[in-house]
């Protein structure tokens, strides 16, 4: 069984090598205010891959913070990875023009809901990873923020639609 899991991981690295190389080349070392960005993106992408989500969802998971944390032109994401991946990434991107943190969260969760289930799945994977990271590092402020976002997502979706939302529900009610 361990060999099978190792093979799956190698398949992920092989399958998404070009995208992973792109991330390594594009993301500045200091990107990500509260947690290192590249490891976060890789964990989100790996989670989505290992749980059998579509290639588009995995790619969007790997790219979900690119617009927010880099000066990478948005159109290149669309041109390189497709319109649906771009829509998911854009929906998951914080609008920094909204200064109120709660309104900003509501905005991107609403945009994810408008794009559809795939965007909500990526946001859920993002929050699950963030919660795990901040739990490990004892950052209670970010843990509270993660729970708030989880609750906003759960208000938009029937948790029985996908197992990821059940995990998110466990996090929100823990």
pLDDT at 153: 98
Are 159 and 165 within 8 A, CB to CB?
A: yes
Each residue's pLDDT, cut to its tens digit, for the chain (174 residues) gives: 444 555 555 578 888 999 999 898 888 777 666 789 999 999 999 999 999 999 999 999 999 999 888 876 788 899 999 999 999 999 999 999 999 999 999 999 999 999 999 999 999 999 999 999 999 999 999 999 999 999 999 999 999 999 999 999 999 997
Q: What is the CATH number of the domain that holds 50?
A: 1.10.3210.10
Nearest to residue 69, comparing CAs of 46, 88, 87, 92?
A: 92
pLDDT at 101: 96
Q: Which structural domain range is residue 125 located in?
A: 2-172
pLDDT at 148: 98
Alpha helices for the chain (secondary structure H): 2-15, 17-26, 37-50, 55-63, 66-69, 74-81, 83-91, 101-115, 117-137, 140-154, 163-172
Rounded CA-CA distance 19/24 in Å is 9
């Amino acid at each position: 069984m361990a060999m099978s899991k190792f093979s799956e991981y190698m398949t992920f690295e092989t399958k998404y090598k070009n995208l992973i190389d792109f991330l390594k080349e594009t993301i500045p070392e200091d990107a990500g205010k509260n947690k290192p960005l590249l490891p976060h993106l890789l964990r989100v992408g790996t989670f989505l891959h290992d749980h059998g989500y579509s290639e588009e969802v995995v790619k969007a998971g790997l790219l979900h913070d690119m617009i927010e944390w880099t000066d990478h032109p948005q159109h290149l994401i669309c041109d390189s990875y497709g319109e649906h991946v771009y829509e998911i990434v854009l929906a998951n991107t914080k609008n920094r023009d909204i200064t109120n943190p709660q309104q900003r969260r509501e905005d991107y969760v609403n945009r994810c809901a408008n794009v559809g289930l795939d965007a909500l799945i990526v946001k859920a994977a993002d929050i699950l990873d963030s919660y795990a990271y901040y739990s490990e590092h004892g950052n209670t402020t970010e843990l509270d923020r993660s729970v708030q976002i989880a609750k906003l997502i759960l208000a938009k979706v029937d948790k029985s639609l996908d197992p990821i939302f059940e995990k998110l529900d466990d996090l929100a009610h823990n």
